[in-house]
Amino acid sequence: MPDWRKSVCRGFINIWSLQDNRWLAGTPRSDDDWATKEGHNIVPHVLIIGAGSTGSATAHDLAQRGLRVTVIERGEVAFGTTGRNHCLLHSGGRYCVTDPESATECIEENMILRKIMPDLLELNDGLFVAITEADLVFKDRFLQGCAACHVPAREISVEHALAVEPFLNPKILAAIQVPDGVFEPFRFCLAFLATAQENGATIRTYSEVTDLLCAGKNVTGVRIRDQHTGKQEALKVDLVVNAAGPWAGEIAAKAGVGVPEIPTAGVMVALDCRLNNLVLNRLNKPSDGDIIVPQRATSVIGTTSWAVENPDLITIPPEHVDRMITQGQQLIPAVKKVPMRAKMAVARPLIARSGIAARELSRTFECFDHERDGTNGFVTITGGKTTTARAMAEKVSDMVCRKLDISAECRTRDTPLCSYRLFFQQRGSRNQSFVGAPGDRSSGRECFR
Amino acid sequence: MNMLKVPLQIFRYKPGQTPGYDTFTVEIPATAHVIDAIDAVWTSHDHSLAFRRACHHSSCGSCAIRINGLEKLPCVTRVTDVWDGRSQVRLDPLRNFPIVSDLVVDRADFFRRMSAADMAMICEAEAFLPFTVDTFAVADLEPKLVELPENFSRFTRFEKCIECGICMSACPTMAADEKFLGPAGLAAIHQARKKTLDPVKVEHLLGLADGEHGVWRCHSAFECTEACPQAVDPAGKIMALRRELIARRFLKMLGK
């Protein structure tokens, strides 16, 4: 290559890397950093409502694509539905017969999450066990369903299942092993948000959206109240992503549009000790109290399903708790000997389909561009599972980029996330410093690019 | 459903304002946990109350506060266990942390300590069940040995420590030395040291523990072990680190 060409190339690379360094700074940025001298935004500004699993993963996706991202959350990270979920990293087995679409999404994302957050997953697999003859009849359908959805599943002997799980009901008739896992919802979100922050995103917790700013029918920003200072503020942005989970309908109503979503609550009961190593499922269609997810030193029995009006006002029906304990005993008889450590309930955002009961509603997700309702600058992403949060983020980010006319590819499939411990460190006061240990994952930058 | 009317006295602080207490009376089921009472204040009395919550079953460690002066996780503390039926239940933020607002404290420096120790959150599991935080505290359940599934080399589990910061709040030394690595930090160093064979890393971790703000700062009050909701026993871990450090010094003196 002639010399002059070399220097031109080098020049381009230099300019590129200089810009790159700017994005890499990893420090909170002011409006000026994102604007030209004339005050125009050079990078489109996207605001995400909600810092649950969907909002967190979307913040990471869009920030990695180079957009300016602000997340608004009324409480702490994972304050709503994500925080109180069942912690199950779905293999898809639970839905492979009744909801193959969701099952396929689950197994695909399960494998991706193993790559991008290996430090935050208990990977001990799961068992589907048959207790009654009816369960046994379901077995073939289950195995066919798993095969159709590409969920790896294999039958293991009853003796082996009981050796692995000594507290399992000794009367089981069959056991099938699937790649279920367990995560921890709070740190799940923190890892996504820490990575987003490294890429320049601003995460504003304890900021409640009080209203949407509208120009005609179009959404142009949000009005927020800072719960720490009590100050009201208007934020003008290029696009608003509504990732408020079961509260998405409430937010969308502020723009005068609707989201076909049914907040559907479920009760979970955590025990005072851990009685199983693997996730235990009843080998049948999903129903109440048919799954026990172990996590740390506890086992969590779940769950029920009923539609609620206001996701903020859920009273735990005592009979649901009793049902968890009685149903849980079918899988692990020792459940009745163990004191209850905690009980919780939260609403899932399920997408409404006419004439279908809450338990049968698909656990898949959907992205709504409210341009269809005549409102521009506003999209809603809802439904889904925490397991599929990354895929939800990819889908809504693709839509956001299409709407903003940006051609940036999604790279979240192969990007290992930063340490969740970075999330608070990036934000807090820096009056003390501790040197990271050699090979400290949390001090290295190379992990997220 | 049997309902209770519980008076709560909650610490309030907003940046730039004088701190104080607000009193609320909430109606909650008799079986409710303290986090449900806080949630009731937030949903029906004062939406500006700042508090943390996520998992509701002592796994995330985010909700830790002081209830009647003692560090606890409100998600697993029943209201009836901390309320005498007459007086107010007092809720304060954790000590030894900068207060951001109301019950929310700044955890940046805490996580900086935890990063310094770099304890992996996932560890290998014991090959028996049931597994409790206080091993086998559960009545009439015999521990049983567990066989690994085929194609498995080990079970994995989240660490006992949930990084709630309760031990840091209970520790009397923290108030005297704000750079003290603290019970959680030192316990994490102990865990990380146990897991690694890399001599460089071991040297670094023991160096941190042996440093100015390390194990020798601890007054052996054992408040951390007393308060820990997950039975991590940080004080025990600090003592174990001290023993190892002393043993290494002796060996050094002997020229080994």
CA distance A258 to chain B (A): 24
Summarised one tens digit per residue, pLDDT across range B133-170 is: 776 566 678 888 888 877 777 889 999 999 999 999 99
Report which DSSP code applies to B216.
G
pLDDT of residue A174: 97
CATH number, domain of B225, equals: 1.10.1060.10
Q: In this complex, which of A121, A313, A344 lies closest to B43 when CB atoms are compared?
A: A313
- Please indicate, yes or no, whether residues B97 and B21 belong to a single structural domain of this protein: yes
- Please indicate, yes or no, whether residues B117 and B242 belong to a single structural domain of this protein: yes
More confident: A429 or A205: A205
Summarised one tens digit per residue, pLDDT across range B215-236 is: 999 999 999 999 999 999 999 9
- Cβ neighbours of B181 in A, within 8 Å: 434
- Please indicate, yes or no, whether residues B85 and B132 belong to a single structural domain of this protein: no
Comparing A94-108, A242-256, A427-441, B185-199, the range with the smallest average pLDDT is A427-441
Q: Which domain holds residue B56?
A: 3-105
Structure tokens at A117: 């957050």
Q: What is the mean pLDDT of residues A276-283?
A: 95
Interface test with A, best of B53, B144, B194, B197 (most A CBs within 10 A): B53
The C-alpha atoms of residue A88 and residue A8 are separated, in whole angstroms, by 53
Comparing A182-186, A199-203, A358-362, B100-104, the range with the smallest average pLDDT is A358-362
pLDDT of residue A109: 97
Q: What is the mean pLDDT of residues A368-380?
A: 96
**Domains, chain A, ordered by start:** 25-80+186-260+364-448 (3.50.50.60), 88-183+261-351 (3.30.9.10)
Measured between CB atoms, does A121 come within 8 Å of chain B? yes
Asked if pLDDT for residue B7 goes beyond 90, the answer is yes
Q: What is the mean pLDDT of residues A67-88?
A: 96
Q: Does A338 sit within 8 Å of B204, measured CB to CB? A: no
Mean pLDDT of chain B: 92
pLDDT of residue B142: 82
- Please indicate, yes or no, whether residues B92 and B112 belong to a single structural domain of this protein: no
- Please indicate, yes or no, whether residues B181 and B57 belong to a single structural domain of this protein: no
More confident: B127 or B213: B213
Q: Does B110 sit within 8 Å of A318, measured CB to CB? A: no
Neighbours of A140 (CB within 10 A): 9
pLDDT of residue A38: 56
pLDDT of residue B129: 85
CA A320 from chain centre, in angstroms, equals 25
CB B86 within 8 A of CB B25: no
> pTM value?
0.92
CA distance B175 to chain A (A): 15
Interface test with B, best of A91, A425, A443 (most B CBs within 10 A): A425
Asked if pLDDT for residue A422 goes beyond 60, the answer is yes
Asked if pLDDT for residue A438 goes beyond 70, the answer is no
- Please indicate, yes or no, whether residues B129 and B65 belong to a single structural domain of this protein: no
- Please indicate, yes or no, whether residues B83 and B149 belong to a single structural domain of this protein: no
- Please indicate, yes or no, whether residues B132 and B230 belong to a single structural domain of this protein: no
The C-alpha atoms of residue A61 and residue B128 are separated, in whole angstroms, by 41
Mean pLDDT of chain A: 87
- Contacts across the A-B interface (CB distance below 8 Å): 243
CATH number, domain of B72, equals: 3.10.20.30
Within the 349-408 window of chain A, which residues sit less than 8 Å (CB to CB) from chain B? none
pLDDT of residue A323: 95
CB A358 within 8 A of CB B92: no
Interface test with B, best of A73, A424, A445 (most B CBs within 10 A): A424
- Please indicate, yes or no, whether residues B9 and B95 belong to a single structural domain of this protein: yes
- Please indicate, yes or no, whether residues B58 and B79 belong to a single structural domain of this protein: yes
Asked if pLDDT for residue B253 goes beyond 70, the answer is yes
Run of H or E residues at B173: helix B172-176
Domain count for chain B, please give it. Answer: 3
Structure tokens at A83: 């925080």
Summarised one tens digit per residue, pLDDT across range A349-371 is: 999 887 777 777 888 899 999 99
Asked if pLDDT for residue B109 goes beyond 60, the answer is yes
- Please indicate, yes or no, whether residues B27 and B75 belong to a single structural domain of this protein: yes
- Please indicate, yes or no, whether residues B227 and B113 belong to a single structural domain of this protein: yes
Neighbours of A156 (CB within 10 A): 16
